[in-house]
């Protein structure tokens, strides 16, 4: 059985790597490495797919770092899943044109389900990823600045009949806090919806957390702040991939 896939995260503001804590733009930490350099480093240690969020785009409701995406796509041999501000067909097409392999859509799925259902039909569940960010059981939208009256199960139930295959579920309360993920939440979701690939997102603090996700039969895990804070090293990721 293949092991859980690690997706290193790159969050971008103004073309630079940053990390937020609990989705709060006021709690932003800027790191020295450029997104292009980080993408190359991950590709060099064998990572197949990276998770990138255009935080400027999430705030502005349209992608703002497409040039950075283009440089990453050209400069690193890695698949890129990209989210942040994808609210229109034009934005979605631009994303794929600039080199993204997968598009992560959250706010549109919650607030304009017919539009997202159309994208799922047109581009397929292989390319479209539902980003379901939750706080206290409710789905949060628009850069986590608003909540809607919808649970994670409501939104999955809405899109499974029209081809949903991939969901990144972020527990906002744990994001960037390095306190471990919500193991029970992800185990329940993966067992309830076996045909959907869930990605664990939020709280990963060490390789021990990754190992536990793997032991629980989870399929993908996003690792962000733990890498930048040197709690998980590129060597750790390389070793994990070599032992697949």
What pLDDT score was predicted for residue 32?
65
Sequence-distant (6+) residues with CB within 8 A of 226 are 178, 204, 205, 206, 232
Percent of the chain with pLDDT over 90: 77
Alpha-carbon gap, residue 47 to 58, rounded angstroms: 25
Structure tokens at 34: 């450029």
Q: Is the pLDDT of residue 143 over 60?
A: no
What pairing do the DSSP bridges indicate for beta strands 24-30 and 146-151?
unpaired
What CA–CA distance (Å, rounded) separates 101 from 124?
12
State the pLDDT at residue 145. Answer: 64
Residue 88 belongs to a domain with what CATH number?
3.20.20.70
Residue numbers of the domain that contains 105: 5-242
CB 56, CB 27: distance < 8 Å: no
Above 80 in pLDDT, residue 93?
yes
Residue 2 has pLDDT above 80, yes or no: no
| pLDDT score recorded for residue 148 | 77
Instruction: Please give the C-alpha separations between residue 206 and each of 26, 80, 162, 169, 209, in angstroms, as whole numbers.
Output: 25, 23, 36, 19, 5
Per-residue b or e along 216-231, where b marks 16 or more CB atoms closer than 10 Å to that residue's CB:
eebbbbbbbbbbbeeb
pLDDT tens-digit series, residues 110-121? 999 999 999 999
Domain count for the chain, please give it.
Answer: 1
Full-model pTM = 0.93
Indicate if the alpha-carbon torsion angle 239, 208, 76, 14 is positive or negative: negative
4-58 pLDDT, tens digit per residue, is 999 999 999 999 988 777 677 777 777 768 999 999 999 999 999 999 999 999 8
Over range 203-227, report the average pLDDT: 96
80: enclosing H helix or E strand: strand 79-83
Q: Quick check: helix, strand or coil at residue 219? A: coil
pLDDT at 142 (0 to 100): 67
Q: pLDDT grade, residue 135 (50/70/90)?
A: confident
Q: Give the active site residues.
A: 11, 133
- Reading phi first (left if > 0) and then psi (alpha if -120 to 50, else beta), residue 80 is in beta
């Amino acid at each position: 059985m293949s092991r859980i896939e690690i997706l290193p995260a790159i969050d971008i503001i103004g073309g630079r790597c940053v990390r937020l804590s609990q989705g709060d733009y006021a709690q932003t930490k800027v790191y020295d490495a450029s997104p292009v350099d980080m993408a190359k480093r991950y590709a060099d240690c064998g990572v197949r797919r990276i998770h990138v969020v255009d935080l400027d785009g999430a705030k502005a409701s349209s992608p703002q770092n497409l040039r950075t995406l283009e440089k990453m796509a050209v400069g690193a041999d890695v698949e890129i899943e990209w989210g942040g501000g994808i609210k229109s067909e034009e934005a979605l097409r631009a994303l794929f044109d600039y080199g993204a392999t997968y598009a992560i859509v959250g706010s549109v799925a919650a607030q304009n389900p017919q539009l997202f259902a159309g994208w799922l039909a047109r581009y397929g569940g292989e390319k479209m990823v539902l980003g379901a960010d939750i706080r206290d059981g409710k789905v949060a939208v628009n850069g986590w600045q608003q909540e809607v009256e919808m649970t994670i199960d409501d939104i999955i139930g809405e899109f499974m009949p029209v081809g949903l295959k991939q969901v990144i579920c972020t527990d906002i309360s744990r994001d960037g806090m390095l306190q471990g993920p919500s193991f029970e939440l992800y185990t329940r979701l993966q067992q309830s919806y076996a045909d959907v690939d869930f990605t664990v997102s939020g709280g990963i603090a060490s390789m021990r957390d990754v190992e536990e996700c793997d032991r629980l039969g989870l399929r993908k895990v996003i690792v962000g702040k733990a890498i930048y804070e040197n709690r998980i090293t590129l060597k750790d990721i390389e070793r994990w991939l070599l032992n697949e």
